[in-house]
Chains A and B, each alone.
Chain A
Amino acid sequence: MSAPPLTRRQAALALIASAASLASCDRPEEEIVPYVEQPERVVPGVPLRFATALPLDGYARGVIATVHEGRPVKLEGNPAHPGSGGATDVFLEAELLALYDPDRSRAVREGTRIASWEGFLSAFLPPMRAASARGGEGLSLLTGHVTSPTLLRLIDELRARYPRLRWHAHQAVGEANALAGAALAFGRPLLALPRLDRAAVVLAIDADPLGPGPDGIRHGREFAARRAARREGGGFSRLYAAEPAMTQTGAKADHRLALPPAALGDLAAHLAARLGAPLSPPALPPAAARFLDAALADLRAHPGEALVVTGEWQPPEVHALVHWINERLGGAPAFVEPPGAAGDGPAGIGELAGDLRAGRVETLLVLGANPAYDAPGELDLAGALRGSQAFTVHLGAWRDETAALCRWHLPEHHPLEDWGDLRARDGTVSLCQPLIRPLYGTRSAAWLLGVALGRLDDTSHGALRATWSARQEGDFEAWWRRALHDGVVAGSAAPAVPPPPARLPSLPERVAGDGLALALRPDPTLWDGRYANNAWLQECPKPLTRLVWGNAALMAPEDAAARGIGDGEMIRLELAGRSLEVPALLAPGTAPGAVVLALGHGRRRAGAIGDGVGADAYALRRAGAPWSAEGLAAVRLGRPGGLLREQPGQRLEGEAKELFQTLSLDGFSARRSDPPPAPSRPPSLNPDAARDTYAWGMVIDTTLCIGCNACVVACQSENNVPVVGPEQVAGGRDMHWLRIDTYDLGTPEAPSPGFQPVPCMHCEHAPCEPVCPVAASVHDAEGLNVQVYNRCIGTRFCQANCPYKVRRFNWYGYADGQEYANQGAPVLAAQRNPEVTVRARGVMEKCTYCTQRISAARRAAEREGRPIRDGEVVTACQAACPSGAIVFGDIGDPASAAARLRQEPQHYALLGHLGTRPRTTYLAEVSNPNPALDDGAA
């Protein structure tokens, strides 16, 4: 069979067409290498782990990153690192999503125009030469809090080269008050490192050591070390907290006192006076006096093990007072020299604002700071920047509020893409290594500082090696490999400094303002606003209030009632001529007279996720007294504020207290000597689960849970749990597999919240299984209640019948075509854990006990021909937990940690009477109240 002959014209056309089609499938111009020989160490499907460190307010927290084929997909704590100790917090977990944020800056910009690096250099070098000629006059550098030895070295070089350079550092949260307080007490700024694990009695005066912060993970771990009630016994500390609004520390405290911010200073002064200080503060209310008596007696009864801490939000005088008190009590925390530059420290943001206004700045370099958003509203730094004629350069990973006001914006590497070094709060150095090639054409801060020094081809890698090769003797390469491998530099912690005798500060005269007192706080999920564009963190319910996608002014119910303000209503806060509209949240436990508001919201140029979410509390912030202000007025606006809470405040009363069981330490001791309770077995017609293989189970110790949400975000990161966005949350459709139920167990006057993390219970007699018509919800031999996504047709009977309501349904294709905002951007697909299915629309999903991790452990064990060892399977939530509240293991093995916890006297199953036989069980919250404060309410 022969083809019909082509005409000449047809033949010519066919030739052209085939040539065109061939030309379009050509190889790239550069040389590409076939995957015939595997790159060293890379085995497809087998992840690699690398140690590095990530900053929060400049301080390092060590992480171990899991990298699949060159993509970091999960961050976990580095056990060797003092700042993380193997656990994480929400910020560490979510930094991964920040790496893949589709809104990250990708291009050099001059104004709004996209420009080139070469263009920037040719514009930047002439003013720098001019500045050099003037000895640096008119040249300003603005950074965040810098602990990096390499960056500090480069800044020192810069100051040597430009002697009149002005260096400003701005950290919206920071620890300026704490350092100033230490300077008052000791004559020089020392960094206090409270050791909660060495304290038998802790009094927190307006402090939230268990809350978010650069050292929050360490505090959580140390707190837990003294709070584990176990049959074998062990010291159990007692925690007192006095604070204006409920914090995680207040929630965990055995005794809590609500006082407005200024009265807390009085409390500290009274404490000092009782210890012999010549002070005569104003009288305390009777309840506070009683609280103080009991706390003081307790502190005195534990010499050397008593600790008083105060928070950054208290003025320096109170910090100094607390140092003095600790010295008297003999339980002073360790002190170290704060990491910093050799010479004078940097100036603050206030000076920069003044310089800008006065026209003293000709060239300004902004490195990793966003003052146009997070400087106190009083300074109007954005206005100063806008009005300035200076040559302004911003280097940052996002084109944020400050970038938009600078003449040049340069895109910066994400820390996970960059070489660097950081110090933890105790001074330990970590070398940071990039886990991925930069996603975009970005550069590092070390490069820009190099350029300013006239070295155009500096790299962060080169700068890092230059810093450390100069400091190491011996085999540098071996040291280098060791440091990178471990994630910490051994023995680099700052030596403890014996503090000089503490001086008693002179307390400022307290001016009693009328109206309410405003207390500003960093946001527990957005911190100072830098994480506002992080969808995981926006949707992570804030501890205690369980607010998502926004902030609220926390008010005492009686204050709100006096002003006719209802829960969730919009109010206007007015302070010294500035005002802010924000929803009110009537939070029991808020001190009457105080209004507590979180910073970090209301970003204007965060990106598709964070823009315009919540109210920008910086507008009310003052430069002199950044954390509190008297004379606040709250005006009811009479319209709903649209608060989104995943759980309204709920009090458990009467029989409902069975859901969250509590026990005093005495009650626990009484039960401890009893023989282990026989496991309660509600009658059942169904056969018992077979126990011929592993029987996976989880025990959650509510005594240790500090409600920090690290587990929630870790689960989201590990299991590809999608973000649904505020509209869907408002409809009640959040997708978190693990939630932290927060119940109030106290009274309206003395609330006592309890945290109860609720993952899937993996019931042995699971109510979800018999109701599924297509057998998509089934049990496996090891006791996991598994969901077969492919088989699920979406009847949702399983969730309807689940007494714990732990299942989550894909009402839309949240991860599969109908994503919220920019969450469907292709770059985010790189974050997905390849070992976990991305669920489609219309199927049910839920906690799997991280079945992929069990499977990985099983493969490893089978390869070695041994059973899986106890502790070998660590679920994502367990790995994240700073306080070790979550224990997972084979409960069929009586020697396993989980099985042993199930024998503890305070062990119980949630809704156990239903006969579901949950594999996830709880240890009741054990508290250690002071009998002297026992008012019979129990």
Chain B
Amino acid sequence: MSAAGEGLLPPGLGYGQLVGAVADPLMRGRMGRWYWTAFAAALLLTLVLVGSIVWLFIEGIGIFGNNTTIVWGFPIANYVWWVGIGNAGTLISSMLLLTRQPWRAAINRFAEAMTLFAVSIAGLFPILHLGRPYLSYWLAPYPNTMLLWPQWRSALVWDFAAIVTYLLFSVMFFYIGLIPDLATLRDRAQSRTGQVVYGILALGWRGSARHWARHDAVYRAMAAMAVPLVVSVHSVVGLDFAAGLMPGWQETIFPPYFVVGALFSGFAMVVVLAALMRWGFGLQSLLTARHFEAMAKVILAASVIMAISYGTEWLMSWYGGERAERSFLRHQLAGSDALLYWGMIACNVGAPQLLWLPAARRSLPVLIGISLLVNIGMWLERILIIWDTLSHGYLPSMWRPWHVTVWDWALLAGSLGFYALLFLVFARVLPVVSMHDMGKLRHEEGGSR
């Protein structure tokens, strides 16, 4: 373990210092101006989100730029993108735990929080995009006076199930992982309120060996469940499209391609958030260059797989020989939206290739820049999957251009703001780094020394 763990902790860091580095900002630290500025900005955008939703309910979904041909647009792209963002948290927590990657300890906590918030926000969009959002509960299988079940053949029903399952699971996984740290906070809390609240949430955790043993068993079992769940949720999102009949959607590659795409955008988001946390909370000692380099490698690998996926799509569209598929491919590569498409390729395939250079992987500004590009590229990919296919279907008579309205942007910006707000609140009330996981790492490193 020592080789793998090397460089993940500063030498000579004691348990007390470690816990202090994480917990002190919560207990004693007064948030600086940057925090409140960010908070105000996030709150403002959240109000934009709320305002947009209110207007949506008053006016109807005509406020979006969709039309008869391009019936989906921003909301569905946002949904797929947000679900993708959520992917990395669970993967970091579970897959890296199962494969015993020690570097996950510093980032798994906020990566999980990221998942939770992203999936919650993602879940809003399919509801908001409905023509009659107040009837969205009809997707749920419940006994009703209409004597009707949902229509099980629809990918949207699978999707509804997958998202709800994923959200519930993420909440539980996050909470179980948090229990020992909540106990730590309870013990270190300065105020009575803190003691009571953290105390209740800690569920009487005393840190006994039996507690640790049971916690570890449950946590690992859940991690084992999480991996297939992550794969399934993104596969189902892919099936939303692949189960269709439209050129550009009806592709068997979609489920794995969506999983990798989600991993890709998720890790890019983790990099951005990790850099922000590290700077904002002074966690340089815990989030080291090693962590960023490991994530950079994941992003690079994912980008290569994405490149292979794009290539496969092109090949199959051409090789299949179907007129509409080939016409679609021409439209994608050289049509009215080709600029966006090549922009997406540049962001998703081009930019990450820089990470072959060790120097680029270690340079935080470069890595952040690439991560932001990846997130933009992945969002472009989501919107283009919708726009390209729907605007260029089987019958040329119904080919139409897409439109974007101010409400499309408002809802996207608002969701980003709401995400930031949730994160800022999280950072203020819960430990952003898993203290017990870091302690374990410290223990293992110390043991080997």
Contact = CB atoms under 8 A, between A and B. Distances in A.
B131 A844 contact: yes
Nearest to A790: B146
B327 interface: yes
Contacts of A741: 395, 397
Interface string B388-407: 00100111111111010000
A793 B68 contact: no
Most chain B beta-carbon contacts within 10 A, residue among A793, A799, A911: A793
A733 B133 CA distance: 20
Contacts of A804: 394-395
Interface string A801-815: 101110111111100
Interface stretch (B12-20, B69-77, B420-428): B69-77
A841 B131 contact: yes
Nearest to B135: A793
Contacts of B154: 770-773, 797
Contacts of A813: 60
Given A731-B65, A797-B156, A773 B403 contact: no
Contacts of A656: 323, 327, 396
B397 A647 contact: yes
A650 B397 contact: yes
A800 B130 contact: no
A801 B71 CA distance: 10
Nearest to A911: B394
A774 B151 contact: yes
Contact of A773 (B68, B160, B397): B160
A655 B326 CA distance: 11
Nearest to A788: B148
Interface string A785-796: 000000111111
A800 B244 contact: yes
B403 A812 contact: no
A16 interface: no
Contact of B131 (A658, A659, A796, A911): A796
Nearest to B64: A811
Interface in A810-857: 810-813, 818, 841-844
Interface string B46-85: 0000000000000111100111111110000000000000
Nearest to B70: A732
B393 A743 contact: no
A842 B132 contact: yes
A728 to B, nearest CB: 8
A758 interface: yes
A767 interface: yes
A792 B132 contact: yes
Nearest to B323: A655
Contact of B66 (A811, A910, A914): A811
B71 A799 contact: yes
A741 B71 CA distance: 20
B157 interface: yes
A480 to B, nearest CB: 50
Interface string A741-773: 111000000000000101000000001001111
Contacts of B65: 731
A734 interface: yes
Contact of A743 (B67, B390, B397): B397
Given A773-B151, A811-B60, A811-B62, A767 B244 contact: yes
B61 to A, nearest CB: 6
A763 to B, nearest CB: 10
A775 interface: yes
B246 to A, nearest CB: 6
B336 interface: no
B395 A659 contact: yes
Contact of B156 (A758, A795, A803, A844): A795
Nearest to B399: A650
A170 B237 CA distance: 66
Contacts of A728: 62
Contacts of B130: 793-795, 842
A323 interface: no
Contacts of A81: none
B449 interface: no
A911 to B, nearest CB: 6
Main SS at interface, chain A = loop
B95 interface: no
B155 interface: yes
Contacts of B157: 773
Nearest to A808: B68
A702 to B, nearest CB: 14
B62 A812 contact: yes
Given A770-B153, A804-B394, A812-B62, A796 B71 contact: yes
B387 to A, nearest CB: 12
Interface residues of A, number: 54
A652 interface: yes
A650 B396 contact: yes
Nearest to B154: A773
A805 B68 contact: yes
A843 B132 contact: yes
Contacts of A793: 130-133, 135-136, 138-139
A805 B60 contact: no
A656 B392 CA distance: 13
Most chain B beta-carbon contacts within 10 A, residue among A658, A741, A797: A797
A787 B414 CA distance: 34
Interface in B151-168: 151, 153-157, 160
Contacts of A801: 244-246
Contacts of B60: 811-813, 818, 841-842
Given A659-B395, A771-B155, A774-B151, A799 B138 contact: no
B335 interface: no
Nearest to A742: B397
Contact of A775 (B69, B151, B323, B396): B151
B397 A758 contact: yes
B446 interface: no
Interface in A635-692: 647, 650, 652, 654-656, 658-659
A741 B146 CA distance: 39
B243 interface: yes
A300 to B, nearest CB: 41
B150 A842 contact: no
B149 to A, nearest CB: 8
Most chain A beta-carbon contacts within 10 A, residue among B61, B69, B160: B61
Interface string B277-321: 000000000000000000000000000000000000000000000
A732 B136 CA distance: 26
A219 interface: no
A374 to B, nearest CB: 34
Nearest to A806: B398
Contacts of A655: 323
A743 B150 contact: no
Contacts of B71: 796, 799-800, 809
Nearest to A803: B394
A168 interface: no
Nearest to A654: B323
Interface of A: 647, 650, 652, 654-656, 658-659, 728, 731-734, 739, 741-743, 756, 758, 767, 770-775, 791-797, 799-801, 803-805, 807-813, 818, 841-844, 910-911, 914
Closest 4 CB pairs of A and B: A794-B131, A842-B131, A732-B67, A811-B62
27 contacts: A654-B323, A743-B396, A771-B154, A771-B155, A772-B154, A773-B138, A773-B151, A773-B154, A773-B160, A774-B148, A774-B150, A793-B136, A794-B130, A794-B132, A797-B155, A799-B71, A800-B244, A800-B246, A801-B246, A809-B68, A811-B60, A811-B67, A813-B60, A818-B62, A843-B132, A844-B131, A911-B395
Given A767-B245, A791-B138, A809-B71, 19 more contacts: A732-B67, A732-B70, A767-B244, A770-B151, A770-B243, A771-B154, A773-B160, A792-B132, A793-B135, A800-B244, A804-B394, A804-B395, A807-B68, A812-B60, A813-B60, A841-B131, A842-B130, A844-B131, A914-B245
